[in-house]
Structure 1
Amino acid sequence: MDGIITILKPPGMTSHDVVSYVKRLSGVKKCGHTGTLDPGAAGVLPICLGKATKLASFVTEGNKTYRAELTLGMATSSQDSFGDILEQVGASSVTLEQFQEVFRSFRGEIRQTPPMSSAIKVGGKKLYELERAGKVVDVPSRQITIFDLKVINSWDWSTPYPRVLFDVTCSKGTYVRTLCSDIGKALGCGAYMSFLLRTCVGSFTLERAITLEKLAELITNHQIGQVVIPMVQAVTHLPMVEIHSSALKSISSGGILYPSGVREVSTKIFPEDLVRIQCNNQLLGIFIAKQENYEESVRMIFKPKVVFPA
């Protein structure tokens, strides 16, 4: 069985717990997730089955959307509700208008420093492993993009701990709990993430996600095929390159795709872009665009990253 299932991860389970459960339930030997979702969070968790496990890192290239709640006036060690309280300043003097002004400033390209409780590796060790060992290291910041940021509702203004529910669409590698913490720092009162629901990963949406209970029911009734998404649909966020059938043998063997083998492209492609190579709606691989310069001409070729033989 090759494809992807969109699971609605419940709070309290790690992403690895969900993978183990799906693997045991389905009997599929190869199974993996496309990016860790915090144990306390719920939401969309695409699970790759069979050959689709090779697509995991490419699925995460798509943007992600979350519905989150932040609570002002308090900072925690993990930047969410599961950490130790580090500071209680209170935010009764902060108004919604002041919050909105600071909130809007976080749109666009910003620098973010991942939390110590994250799975980011520094010196070959995951940060949460170093934290558990009592070690503190300098964590390099990185550039992320906040594409959209919108307040949905808010409560308890003029009290020590106002709460704000918001939606955020962001690039790969964004930590929403760090976003909440940074907003609190900018307001001078501290903040932590008190709720998180991931609603979209690339083309995988909450509307198509199923619970683990529903998955068990489908497997028992031999109907799992109803919810397995074909591999080609998992990477629709990547530009499409349709090839001529004459190039099929070469591409399936891991060969370079040259302009003569390209039948159609879905959009303008730039050097270093990842693309999906397909023929008659069958995914043949993920390739990377490379520009070759000659004295009088320039051409784009595509080199394989992952190949799925036809």
Structure 2
Amino acid sequence: MKMGILAINKAKNMTSHDVVAILRRKLGTKKIGHTGTLDPIATGVLPMCIGRATKLSQYISDLGKAYIADLEFGKETSTYDCEGEVINISDKQIFTKEEINKELNKFKGEISQVPPIYSAIKVDGKKLYEYAREGKEVEIKARKVTIHDIKLLDLNANKARIYIDCSKGTYIRSIVHELGRNLGTYAFMTDLQRVKVGNLSIEQTVDIFDIDKYSSEELYNLIINPEDVLDTLPSFVVDENIRFRLINGQRINVKDIKKSEKIQENTLTLVFNNNDFLGLALRKDNILKMEKLIWQE
């Protein structure tokens, strides 16, 4: 069975687990996993790991992401999006492009963000949305995220569309919520599309509703090699001797490796032998070992 990444365009009101179930049925294998949940309200790029590539799901989940979000000024909801109850209303709803862009620019760079109470983040082993549904208060710790780019795409009366290129773990709903507050009003997200994960763009995806139009063989032909998805990581080629030792679980002193100075310390590295992708290795204290072995004879 070919292994790798299949980029799916997830539909609204569908969970990431729903997509896994559909692909397992279609491809006839249980070895399929998603790379982090995409909220049911959201559509767009959902990389699916097939076969041995499931070992790499956490690393693909760590890749940067880009979104297009629609929002509406003048209302605040309990969930920061259209699925929640309206809890605040303001008459201040109309803004110029300049006013909005001025506030959006303040988000660029590393920021401290408080996740919404209606989220799947766990506190003391319990998901935040479970506390919210029970009406219980819980301390939500802020966390650092990075906004690489953010800009206004469209503005029509009290409705706007924005583009956000960000690090993993960024809550777009929270940015929309904060944008409203920073403008002296309220705002909530009405729609969300993920347009990029790493180097996987929306143009490369297969629409989940079109799955049955493909044969399983055609879908397998659309699978992308995992090393091509993780190509932002450094790479290194080892000889046959080092390959044998690595795939057998040995830890290797970098002094035994030619041109080992090219292997960065404490940095995940793609390891190849000729054209074969072996997996991810990590050099620590001048010892190299495999973190995730993908290669299989």
TM range (shorter): over 0.9
Q: Cα 1:258–1:131, aligned 2, differ >3 Å: closer, same or farther?
A: same
Provide the secondary structure at the position in 2 that maps to 1:51.
helix
Is the contact made by 1:253 and 1:309 (CA closer than 8 Å) also made in structure 2?
no
Hey, what's the Cα distance between the residues in 1 that align with 2:237 and 2:70? 42
Is the contact made by 1:112 and 1:142 (CA closer than 8 Å) also made in structure 2?
yes
Matched, 1:61 2:65: no
Return the offset for 1:141: 0.6
Q: Cα 1:90–1:203, aligned 2, differ >3 Å: closer, same or farther?
A: same
- Report the TM-score, using the length of structure 1 for normalisation: 0.88
Provide the secondary structure at the position in 2 that maps to 1:223.
helix
CA offset digits 1:70-112 (Å, max 9, x no partner) = 2111111111111111111132464332222111101000000
Letter in 1 for 2:171: Y
Is the contact made by 1:232 and 1:282 (CA closer than 8 Å) also made in structure 2?
no
Letter in 2 for 1:9: K
Matched, 1:307 2:286: no
Q: Which residue of 2 aligns with 1:45?
A: 46
CA RMSD of aligned residues (A): 2.0
Hey, what's the Cα distance between the residues in 1 that align with 2:121 and 2:64? 19
Indicate which of 222, 245, 248 corresponds to 1:250: 245
Return the offset for 1:131: 2.2
Letter in 2 for 1:32: G
Return the offset for 1:264: 6.5
Return the offset for 1:155: 1.0
Gaps of 5+ in 2: none
Matched, 1:275 2:269: yes
Hey, what's the Cα distance between the residues in 2 that align with 1:126 and 1:69? 26
Return the offset for 1:142: 0.3
Q: Which residue of 2 aligns with 1:116?
A: 117
Q: Cα 1:271–1:135, aligned 2, differ >3 Å: closer, same or farther?
A: farther
Is the contact made by 2:79 and 2:85 (CA closer than 8 Å) also made in structure 1?
yes
Return the offset for 1:256: 2.6
Q: Cα 1:261–1:38, aligned 2, differ >3 Å: closer, same or farther?
A: farther
Hey, what's the Cα distance between the residues in 2 that align with 1:251 and 1:78? 48
Q: Cα 1:121–1:269, aligned 2, differ >3 Å: closer, same or farther?
A: farther
Provide the secondary structure at the position in 2 that maps to 1:304.
strand
- Report the TM-score, using the length of structure 2 for normalisation: 0.92
Matched, 1:169 2:165: yes
Q: Which residue of 1 aligns with 2:177?
A: 181
Hey, what's the Cα distance between the residues in 1 that align with 2:39 and 2:88? 23
Return the offset for 1:263: 5.6
Q: Which residue of 2 aligns with 1:210?
A: 206
Matched, 1:20 2:6: no
Matched, 1:288 2:282: yes
Hey, what's the Cα distance between the residues in 2 that align with 1:115 and 1:230? 35
Q: Which residue of 1 aligns with 2:228?
A: 233
Letter in 1 for 2:80: Q
State percent identity of aligned pairs: 35
Is the contact made by 1:287 and 1:306 (CA closer than 8 Å) also made in structure 2?
yes
Q: Which runs of 4+ in 1 moved over 4 A?
A: 260-265, 267-270
Return the offset for 1:269: 6.0
Letter in 1 for 2:235: M
Q: Which residue of 2 aligns with 1:9?
A: 10
Is the contact made by 1:242 and 1:263 (CA closer than 8 Å) also made in structure 2?
no
Hey, what's the Cα distance between the residues in 2 that align with 1:81 and 1:107? 25
Hey, what's the Cα distance between the residues in 2 that align with 1:164 and 1:268? 47
Q: Which residue of 2 aligns with 1:151?
A: 152
Hey, what's the Cα distance between the residues in 2 that align with 1:46 and 1:264? 34
